């Protein structure tokens, strides 16, 4: 199913532990599309399942180095370690390696995607959701959906035990994130066990500096700026695949722990798995392009930094790693 892993991307999962932001408003809600028949929806879903199954099988067949992948970019006075992360993990998972621990110990600064822990971030999240995550003028979410889509949403809500009334005031993107995160947590994944939360706490305790590649506004604004039809597609894709969410994340984490960069690319850095080219470009590719410039600029300041970002950003043909190499940098890694 082509859209199932969108809920596993860094931007979506980060919301589970109070990442926040304030982006430009999405366009005014569009009217619901023409009704799609149950037969055409079923045919579309079967095609999505086939594409998903093929990507999953190829990912499971590939192998990595046995530990989460770590890359190094350096010059005469600066060392940048780059670690792909997963934002929610099972509490009992042992993912640390000697290489990760050594890179963390050496780093004077740890760089994350965005601030997800400060009180300022929590306040900004509340402001953003109140203006960019909710529909205006008393409009209800189901008014944007056709009959088939409303049925898919209700089934997904029943599965996670969430009442329809709770999502009715929400923009489709925010409803989709809530739905996906509830399912992931239902499967036993905990944001407090995610890599960023663990390393962030350790960095603060060790007196290390923290830095970020983007603001909260820049990150969440990418969801709010998605066209309304793409938001609806995101929501219904998440609803249709809700029961498979745990399976996908289990596979992704397995690939990540094994250091299988190719497998991660298939599951995350893949337009087919992200749902559409628009979503892929907005939430992955264009962010990578911006980050590459910021990472290059870090080479101008002496020191050692550990850059920890969602694993999907460091895998696939549009990865930060490939973009850096295309600009003439030598990146050492798996």
Average pLDDT over all residues of the chain: 82
Confidence of residue 164 (pLDDT cuts 50, 70, 90): very high
User: Which of residues 69 and 180 earns the better pLDDT score?
Assistant: 69
The mean pLDDT of 75-91, rounded to a whole number, is 94
Q: Given pLDDT bands bounded at 50, 70 and 90, which one contains residue 144?
A: very high
CB 110 within 8 Å of CB 200: yes
85 in helix, strand or coil? Answer: strand
pLDDT of 10 strictly over 60: no
DSSP code at position 328:
T
- Rounded average pLDDT over 192-199: 92
**Which of the four pLDDT bands, split at 50, 70 and 90, describes residue 163?**
very high
Domain positions in the chain: 4-26+35-326
Question: Of the given ranges (18-32, 128-142, 152-166), which has the lowest mean pLDDT?
Answer: 18-32
- Could you tell me the pLDDT band of residue 156, with boundaries at 50, 70 and 90? very high
Percent of the chain's residues with pLDDT above 90 = 51
Q: What is the pLDDT of residues 118-133, one digit of tens each?
A: 888 888 888 899 999 9
DSSP assignment string, 119-153: HHHHHHHHHHHHHHSB-STT--GGGGS-HHHHHHH
The DSSP bridge pattern shows strands 78-85 and 109-112 to be unpaired
Q: What does the pLDDT average to over 93-120?
A: 94
| Dihedral sign computed on CA atoms, order 165, 120, 290, 99 | negative
In a 3-state reduction of DSSP, which class is residue 12?
helix
Question: What is the mean pLDDT of the segment spanning 230-251?
Answer: 82
pLDDT band at 82 (very low <50, low <70, confident <90, very high): very high
pLDDT in tens, 18-44: 332 222 223 333 333 444 455 665 665
């Amino acid at each position: 199913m082509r859209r199932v892993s969108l809920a596993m991307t860094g931007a979506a999962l980060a919301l589970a532990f109070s990442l926040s932001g304030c982006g430009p408003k999405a366009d005014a809600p569009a009217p619901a599309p023409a009704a799609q028949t149950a037969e055409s929806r079923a045919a579309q879903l079967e095609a999505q399942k086939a594409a998903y199954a093929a990507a999953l099988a190829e990912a499971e067949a590939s192998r990595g180095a046995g530990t989460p992948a770590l890359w190094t970019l350096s010059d005469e006075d600066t060392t940048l370690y780059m670690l792909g992360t997963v934002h929610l993990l099972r509490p009992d998972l042992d993912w640390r390696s000697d290489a990760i621990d050594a890179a963390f110990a050496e780093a004077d600064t740890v760089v994350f995607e965005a601030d997800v822990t400060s009180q300022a971030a929590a306040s900004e999240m509340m402001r953003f959701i109140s203006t960019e995550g909710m529909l205006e003028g008393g409009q209800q979410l189901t008014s944007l959906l056709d009959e088939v889509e409303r049925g898919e949403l209700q089934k997904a809500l029943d599965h996670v035990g969430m009442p329809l009334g709770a999502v009715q005031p929400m923009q489709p993107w925010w409803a989709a994130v809530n739905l996906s995160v509830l399912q992931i947590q239902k499967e036993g994944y905990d944001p407090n066990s995610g890599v960023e939360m663990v390393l962030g706490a350790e960095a603060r305790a060790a007196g290390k500096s923290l830095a970020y590649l983007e603001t909260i506004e820049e990150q969440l604004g990418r969801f709010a700026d998605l066209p309304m039809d793409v938001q609806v597609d995101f929501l219904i894709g998440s609803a249709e695949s809700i029961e498979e969410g745990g399976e996908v994340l289990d596979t992704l984490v397995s690939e990540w722990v094994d250091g299988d960069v190719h497998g991660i690319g298939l599951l995350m850095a893949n337009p087919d798995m992200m749902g559409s080219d628009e979503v892929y470009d907005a939430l992955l590719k264009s962010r990578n392009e911006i980050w590459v410039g910021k990472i290059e600029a870090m080479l101008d300041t002496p020191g050692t930094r550990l850059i920890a970002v969602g694993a999907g950003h460091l895998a696939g043909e549009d990865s930060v790693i490939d973009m850096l190499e295309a600009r003439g940098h030598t990146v050492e890694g798996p």
